[in-house]
Amino acid sequence: MHHPTRPPINRLPVELLQHIFLFVLNNVPENPSIFSFGDTCISADFASPPLLLTRVCHLWRDIAHSTTAIWSRIHVALPGRIKALNPFLPSLLEIWLARSGRRPLSLSVVSEQLCYSRDTEARCLPWLRPYKSGADCRLLEILLSVRGRWETVDIMSPAIYDWSDNVDTPRLRTLKCFLREYRRFNAPNLHCLHIFSRNDFPARPALTCKDIRHLRLQHTSVNAVRFTSVIFPHLETMVVDNYSLGSGDRIDTVTQPRLESMTLPLTSDRREFIDILDGFHLPMLQKLTVVVGELRPLEVECIMAALAVATCHDPTVDLKMATPPSEVDLDIAKPLLSVAKEVAVCGKVLDLLEILPGPE
Q: Residue 217: how many CB atoms within 10 A of its CB?
A: 22
The DSSP H or E segment spanning 61 is helix 58-66
Comparing CA positions, the residue from 182, 179, 199 lying closest to residue 190 is 182
Predicted confidence at residue 81, as pLDDT, reads 60
Q: Give tens-digit pLDDT for 263-273.
A: 999 987 888 89
Share of the chain above pLDDT 70, in %: 81
Q: Are 319 and 343 in contact (CB under 8 A)?
A: yes
Q: Give tens-digit pLDDT for 252-263.
A: 788 999 999 999
Q: How many residues does the chain have?
A: 360
The DSSP H or E segment spanning 63 is helix 58-66
Look at residue 130 and tell me whether its pLDDT is greater than 70.
Answer: no
- CA distance readout (Å), 347 to 213, 215, 234, 286, 304: 25, 23, 29, 16, 20
Packing angle of the helix pair 270-277, 222-231 (nearest 10 deg)? 20
Lowest mean pLDDT among 135-149, 192-206, 302-316: 192-206
Is the pLDDT higher at 331 or at 355? Answer: 331
Predicted confidence at residue 125, as pLDDT, reads 38
d(CA 17, CA 13): 7
Look at residue 36 and tell me whether its pLDDT is greater than 80.
Answer: yes
Q: For 166-279, list the strands marked E by DSSP.
A: 167-168, 174-178, 185-186, 192-196, 214-217, 220-221, 237-240, 243-244, 254-255, 261-265
Q: Give tens-digit pLDDT for 74-125.
A: 999 888 765 667 889 999 999 999 999 999 999 999 886 544 444 444 443 3
Model pTM score:
0.84
Q: Give tens-digit pLDDT for 39-55.
A: 667 889 999 999 999 99
Q: Give Cβ neighbours of residue 147 (< 8 Å, ≥ 6 apart).
A: 167, 168, 169
Predicted confidence at residue 109, as pLDDT, reads 92
What mean pLDDT comes out for the span 327-342?
89
Lowest mean pLDDT among 60-69, 108-117, 224-233, 328-337: 108-117
Predicted confidence at residue 126, as pLDDT, reads 36
What mean pLDDT comes out for the span 188-197?
89
Q: What is the rounded average pLDDT for all residues in the chain?
A: 83
Q: Tell me the one-letter amino acid at 83.
A: K
* Predicted confidence band of residue 164 (pLDDT cuts 50, 70, 90): low
Packing angle of the helix pair 88-99, 134-144 (nearest 10 deg)? 20
